[in-house]
Structure 1
Amino acid sequence: MQFALPPRSPHLLPHARSSRLPIYRRKQLKTVALFGIAILSLLFICSRLSSSSSTSVATPTGTTGVVIVTLLDRENFSDSYLNKIVANREDYAKRHGYTNFFATVSDYKDAVGDAPKSWALVPAIRHAIASHPRSAYFFHLSSHALIMNPSKPLKSHLLEKSRLESLTLKDVPVVPPDSIIKTFSHLKENDIDLIVTQDKEDVSPGSFVLKNGEFARFFLDVWFDPLFRSYNFAKAEIHGLDHIMQWHPTILARTALVPQRTLNAYSKDSTGASSDGTYQDGDFVIRFPGCDDTKGRDCVQELEPYYKLWLRKTKTD
């Protein structure tokens, strides 16, 4: 970088001894210029490193930190049943200043195509992110589930740095019981964009938390790839998630597996819970997986006693 200097006049500083001053000043200016360039370069590099080190979106002032995403099947369940689910989510959101996003399975028929309708949860979450682009976290919870401990904010229960790092399961098989692919042992809170649990056999996406950002969009695009939807996995999107968690290290490197009861406890009538995955009083969430497609089970009947228990809790909290 060069700096323009005034032309030297023969009438100024006529003595040879005085000619040292412009040289000295030029050296000073050059030093200052180089120092300024170094500072600007350092600031630029720091800003680039900062922007690339985390792809998550900060929560701006005046926006909610958490959006609860619930996908409702209005074609197969009565308004009476679904209204109980909605009331449960609305109570929890109101307590903690969160936002609800209710979607309907039928809204995503075109996106899902010929694949099982359970795949609709992926475009529903993408829809929620597009509708609330400035929110920091998206908490997907199946419509066959209740939040049973409404006094627990998601932040202190799961998202705070020390809490999340203490819960993260490290160096364990991704797909139980004996997957050769294991979770990373060095994960820290700022590495984590996806928080999910396992049950006895699979990664269990009926309840999970996804941090907004570039990773979220990448993850949802990979999961919803047409190849996986057309592959005829026995458990559709569940086995699709099992696959990408094991064979896409970019995704596994940003994922925390946490104990099942932290986020996704199963009811006593649900098969497949992990060894410590069945609901106990005080747990955050109870889910009823399989209540809609297992012979001899009924979602409405299974939900009712827990819904009444939840109502009593809301009156005492």
Structure 2
Amino acid sequence: MTSLRAGLLGIGMMGRHHARILRDVDGVDLVAVADPGGDPHRVAGGLEVLPDVHGLIDAGIDIAVVAIPTRFHAEAALALADAGIHTLVEKPIAEDTETGRKVAQTFEERGLVGVVGHVERFNPALQQLRQRLEAGDAGDVYQIATRRQSSFPTRIGDVGVAKDLATHDVDLTAWVAQALYASVSAQTAHKSGREHEDMISITGRLRNGVITNHLINWLSPMKERVTVVTGERGTFIADTATGDLTFFANGTVALEWESVSSFRGVSEGDVTRFAFAKKEPLRAELEAFRDAVNGQPTQLSSMSEAAHTLEVVEAALRSAGDGGALVVTDAVT
């Protein structure tokens, strides 16, 4: 089988990792890179650093990865669609929902594979979590809560923490629960003197009734990436920084201390930390992109799903601007 000729737009902090992995994915040849800022991380190797997306297109590529600042995503993606090139765009899909929907519609109308790099779908802990929830290991799911906290990444300047990080949590929650968002409310804070928010707290409800909560900021001197799923049989905790998944089961042994049992509702049962293979999420995502182009089903985020994720985040920002008022979202299918 002939290898897919790949082009990479953007070889900065994120693009350098795409470059490393694309060179090592079977069935893919990285033949062109482009970045108007040059090659600060020296990942181009023997390839010429082209100035823009049009240079990539002229190189005769089959697939492209777009890893440039958010405000340039749509323009680059639409140019690639016009050229008939299957494309993976880093999240978020675009600066705003309307533009994201336009990009998604364009790829769909052209019959092209258009996906968005919501890489948490390929985190081994979350993949295991989704499988176990689907199998009913937690019983009915009541709540999904996430925490994504760290210091400010200097590479981000064109969006706030909501569009940069909350998009991860919104997408992974909907994907793990296999349900779209119905409504959200939120509060934001601006504590570091930047134009965009650096802290957001989002509360929501999915269309299947599951309650959601997301705490996200760029103001913490440590890095935390945690997803907690509470159900009728116990609680799963996925640490996506380490790829670990642990299940805290509800107790089956009756407590002798009646007043405590009554107060707590459930008792503490067995704790299980699961062992499973752990592939680098970005590698798994790029392999899935290759597979999608070759006609295989994958768990990649479609552009329409990514537009819904962006819509939810923008609804949260509107809610915060209106004092935390509830905002109902429009489901994108």
Greater strand fraction, Structure 1 or Structure 2: 2
TM > 0.5:
no
Please report the TM-score for the alignment, with normalisation by the length of structure 2.
Answer: 0.27
Please report the TM-score for the alignment, with normalisation by the length of structure 1.
Answer: 0.28
Greater helix fraction, Structure 1 or Structure 2: 1
